[in-house]
């Protein structure tokens, strides 16, 4: 029961103000604290997102460091603070930032690149996927062809030891579906626009990702947080706009999990099969899907879920296995593990860099059996996961389990890129929001 002093203080509050707002003068310390306390949680998150994105791109590409653009997005922050009591207006302001930054920004990069250089305003992974797609259209095997005389050779490369020879000139680490999407995108875009940029495909899947957020969370505070923490995540946006393809996997995995949660198991299997055929990142979700299907085997998940998933991924992989299975295995597995003379070097941050710093691995080009650490800790985690969810596993457990296993595998990997960190951050945010219906921002 509140004491009398609390009651008297409550009566002094303006009844027209929403709960939590203090009517004292803003220049008083207590009043300022009350205003901060009353501020929605998403407001500082949105401001931090804008600030981080501006900071990352202050010396970046084209209009992202233009003073007019910076003033515009800072103005969005001011409007966001003013509109903190209206969910719809805050969503519109967030979508405005996404529309101007992601869509218009990506289009600007594509046009500038088209007018200047094929190697400009995009990273080497984006260029390689484009080239590989064209190889497919020419009837050439992207896993056996050299990239030394392609557009990829024009992209500058520098590793941590000062090496300038890009190992991607000799290998292609992307599974077949990614290359097929590039080939299809090139055929369509070149026909209607006269040029192609792989980010055209990325924007399609980014739109699919936004649609997932709306379908999953509806017009709610969770949708707002999804937009800020996932769709507008600065690290994720930077990676995607520069040519990293994680948005494709993210969209397919999330739709697959949503279909699974809503018992549309056939369509879930289709989405998961496509994700597995597009990138190695998705392979790690398979143990959790098998566990889920085993627990729900009486509901026909083996036939209606696992069979479509296996059929779709097999439909993509089998032609390339028949074409040259050894080359496919060498590019997707051996090249990434460091087992080949021209494998990707140890770089960026993670366990591999620590081993080089300690002198356990002599140079960044040497082979080291990272798979022992990955397998040991990964298997241990799967056992613990099995024991923790032996009786019942829900879709959100698949999401959290997959994200945790991904962290383990990537930490003990030969290399860990910033795009990996961005992917982990958005996955953690989605895992937090997935079943958390108690989110209240004010």
DSSP states along 310-326: HHHHHHHHHHHHHHHHH
Span 400-410, average pLDDT:
96
Q: What is the pLDDT of residues 255-294, one digit of tens each?
A: 999 999 999 999 999 999 999 999 999 999 999 999 999 9
243: left (phi over 0), alpha (psi -120 to 50) or beta: left
Weakest mean pLDDT among 13-17, 241-245, 419-423: 13-17
- Kindly state the percentage of the chain with pLDDT values over 70: 90
Three-class SS of 166-220: CHHHCCCCCCHHHHHHHHHHHHHHHHHCCCCCCHHHHHHHHHHHHHHHHHHHCCC
pLDDT band of residue 6 (cuts 50, 70, 90) is very low
Reference 172, options 128, 136, 112, 208; nearest CA is: 128
Weakest mean pLDDT among 40-44, 292-296, 333-337, 354-358: 40-44
Residue 149 pLDDT: 93
Span 45-53, average pLDDT:
94
Q: Which helix (H) or strand (E) segment is 271 a member of?
A: helix 265-278
Taking the complete model, does pTM exceed 0.75, yes or no?
yes
pLDDT band of residue 440 (cuts 50, 70, 90) is low
Phi, psi of 107 (to 5 degrees): -65, -40
Angle between helices 265-278 and 176-192 (to 10 degrees): 90
pLDDT band of residue 65 (cuts 50, 70, 90) is confident
Phi, psi of 348 (to 5 degrees): 60, -125
Which residues, in sequence order, are bridge partners of residue 415? 347
Average pLDDT, the chain: 89
Span 193-212, average pLDDT:
97
Span 53-61, average pLDDT:
88
Weakest mean pLDDT among 7-11, 110-114, 333-337: 7-11
Bridge pairing between strands 415-416 and 347-348 = parallel
Residue 34: is its pLDDT beyond 70?
no
Q: Distances in Å between the alpha carbon of 346 and those of 156, 161, 163, 199?
A: 18, 10, 12, 27
Residue 28: is its pLDDT beyond 60?
no
User: Can you list the alpha helix ranges (DSSP code H) found in 332-437?
Assistant: 335-337, 351-357, 370-388, 395-411, 418-434
Span 203-230, average pLDDT:
96
Weakest mean pLDDT among 54-63, 81-90, 133-142: 54-63
Q: What is the pLDDT of residues 162-192, one digit of tens each?
A: 888 999 999 999 999 999 999 999 999 999 9
């Amino acid at each position: 029961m509140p004491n009398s002093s609390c009651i008297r203080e409550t009566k002094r509050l303006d009844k027209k103000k929403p709960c939590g707002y203090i009517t004292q003068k803003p220049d008083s310390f207590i009043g300022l604290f009350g205003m901060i306390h009353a501020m929605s949680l998403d407001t500082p998150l949105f401001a931090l997102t804008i600030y981080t994105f501006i900071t990352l791109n202050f010396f970046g590409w084209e209009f992202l460091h233009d003073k007019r653009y910076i003033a515009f997005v800072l103005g969005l922050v001011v409007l966001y603070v003013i509109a903190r009591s209206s969910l719809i207006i805050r969503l519109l302001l967030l979508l405005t930032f996404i529309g101007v930054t992601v869509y218009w920004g990506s289009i600007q990069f594509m046009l500038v690149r088209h007018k200047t250089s094929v190697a400009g305003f995009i990273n080497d992974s984006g260029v390689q996927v484009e080239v590989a797609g064209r190889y497919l259209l020419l009837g050439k095997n992207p896993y056996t062809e050299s990239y030394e005389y392609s557009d990829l050779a024009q992209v500058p490369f520098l590793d941590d030891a000062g090496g300038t020879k890009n190992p991607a000139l000799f290998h292609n680490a992307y599974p077949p579906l990614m290359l097929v999407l590039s080939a299809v995108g090139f055929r369509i875009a070149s026909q209607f626009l006269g040029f192609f940029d792989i980010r055209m495909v990325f924007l399609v899947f980014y739109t699919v990702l936004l649609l997932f957020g709306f379908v999953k969370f509806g017009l709610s505070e969770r949708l707002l947080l999804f937009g800020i923490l996932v769709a507008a995540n600065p690290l994720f946006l930077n990676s995607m706009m520069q040519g990293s393809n994680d948005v494709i996997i993210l969209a397919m995995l999330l739709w697959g999990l949503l279909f699974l949660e809503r018992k549309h198991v056939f369509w879930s299997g289709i989405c998961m099969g496509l994700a597995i055929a597009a990138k190695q990142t998705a392979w790690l979700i398979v143990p959790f899907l098998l566990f889920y299907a085993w627990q729900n085997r009486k509901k026909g998940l083996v036939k209606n879920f696992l069979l479509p998933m296996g059929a779709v991924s097999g439909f993509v992989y089998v032609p390339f296995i028949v074409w040259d299975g050894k080359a496919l295995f060498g590019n997707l597995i051996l090249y990434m593990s460091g087992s080949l003379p021209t494998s990707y070097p140890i770089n960026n941050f993670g366990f591999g860099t620590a081993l080089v710093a300690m002198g356990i691995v002599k140079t960044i080009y040497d082979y080291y059996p990272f798979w022992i650490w990955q397998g040991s800790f990964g298997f241990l985690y799967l056992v613990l996961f099995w024991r923790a969810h032996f009786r019942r596993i829900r879709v959100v457990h698949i999401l959290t389990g997959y994200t945790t296993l991904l962290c383990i595998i990537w930490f003990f990997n030969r290399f860990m890129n910033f795009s990996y960190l961005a992917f982990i951050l958005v996955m953690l945010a989605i895992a937090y929001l997935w079943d958390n219906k108690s989110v209240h921002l004010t």
